[in-house]
Amino acid sequence: MGRAKLEIKPIQKSTNRQITYSKRKKGLIKKAYELSTLCDIDLALLMFSPSDRLCIFSSETSAIVFPDRSKRQGIQNKEYLLRTLEQLKTENDMAFQINEPRYEAIHSDVKVINFPIFTELEKELCRLQQQLQISEEELRKFEPDPVRFTSMEEMEACENHLLSTLTRMVQRREHLLSRSFEAPSTQQSIENIEGWEPEAEFKQARIIANSAYASNQLSYDLPLQGIISNPTQTPK
């Protein structure tokens, strides 16, 4: 479709190939979207651009595994893949026996398995794990698990920590009390007491954490050169 009929074979000129990719990718995703909507089905479309950028469309969900073209020669890898596949097969067979026999295609069609790119979810998982660890460590400073204690110094440090916090608390309260006496309202909320600065930084952190969930896109591109790198950057 176009001014001229195009033969279906690899386009030699790389610029043309890139242009065709962009245009047809768009069309293909649109069609995929339409089909999945019209027929209310799960559908996933994955491709690597000529510049090896991954593009995903998914109507729903799920994890998908896909082979990496440039890396299919490694024997070591093949063995790994086969092992993984075997594992998956087993797991799938279990599901197969329990449920209805609909997933034969999974067995017969699949030959290579592939590996994950870090999605937002994964990043968030890591972030949470780290934060949890930090938080628990912090907690341990106050209330150490006796079993984990290894030295008297640690114990003393903990005591000091508790003591200094306690001191700070008392000072804080006294500060508040003196303010309260100046302003007569007994039911006055603490936030409104003068000289009491809400720690904005804390709130900010929470907002950032939550915004990580906001993304829920129909389709998206991911750069392959690194999980760490910015997804919106252009490939070289």
Partner DNA sequence: ATACCTATATATAACGC
Partner DNA sequence: TGCGTTATATATAGGTA
The residues in 3-22 that bind DNA, with binding defined as CB under 7 A, are: 3-6, 15-16, 18-22
CA-to-CA dists, residue 134 to 131, 150, 181, angstroms: 5, 19, 39
Closest alpha carbon to 235 in 51, 56, 17: 51
Counting contacts by CB under 8 A, is residue 183 touching its own copies? no
The residues in 32-51 that bind DNA, with binding defined as CB under 7 A, are: 49-51
Counting contacts by CB under 8 A, is residue 104 touching its own copies? yes
Specify the residue, 72 or 183, whose C-beta has the smaller distance to its own copies: 72
Place of tokens 């595994």: 65
Q: Distance (Å, rounded) from C-alpha 187 to C-alpha 41? A: 58
State the binding partner of 4 from its own copies, DNA, none, CB within 5 to 8 A by kind: DNA
Q: Distance (Å, rounded) from C-alpha 66 to C-alpha 73? A: 15
Find the shortest distance in angstroms from Cβ 27 to DNA: 2
Specify the residue, 159 or 183, whose C-beta has the smaller distance to its own copies: 159
Q: Distance (Å, rounded) from C-alpha 56 to C-alpha 108? A: 24
Find the shortest distance in angstroms from Cβ 15 to its own copies: 12
Specify the residue, 24 or 168, whose C-beta has the smaller distance to DNA: 24
Counting contacts by CB under 8 A, is residue 4 touching its own copies? no
Tell me which of 4, 13, 105, 153 binds its own copies, using CB under 8 A: 105
Counting contacts by CB under 8 A, is residue 17 touching its own copies? yes
Find the shortest distance in angstroms from Cβ 176 to its own copies: 7
Q: Distance (Å, rounded) from C-alpha 96 to C-alpha 92? A: 6
The residues in 25-84 that bind its own copies, with binding defined as CB under 8 A, are: 25, 27-28, 31-50, 52-56, 58-72, 74-77, 80-81, 84
∠ CA 52-58-62, rounded to 5°: 100
In angstroms and rounded to an integer, the radius of gyration of the C-alpha atoms of the chain is 29
Q: Distance (Å, rounded) from C-alpha 137 to C-alpha 139? A: 5
Q: Distance (Å, rounded) from C-alpha 32 to C-alpha 55? A: 13
- The binding site for DNA (CB under 7 A) comprises 1-6, 15-16, 18-24, 26-28, 30-31, 49-51, 53
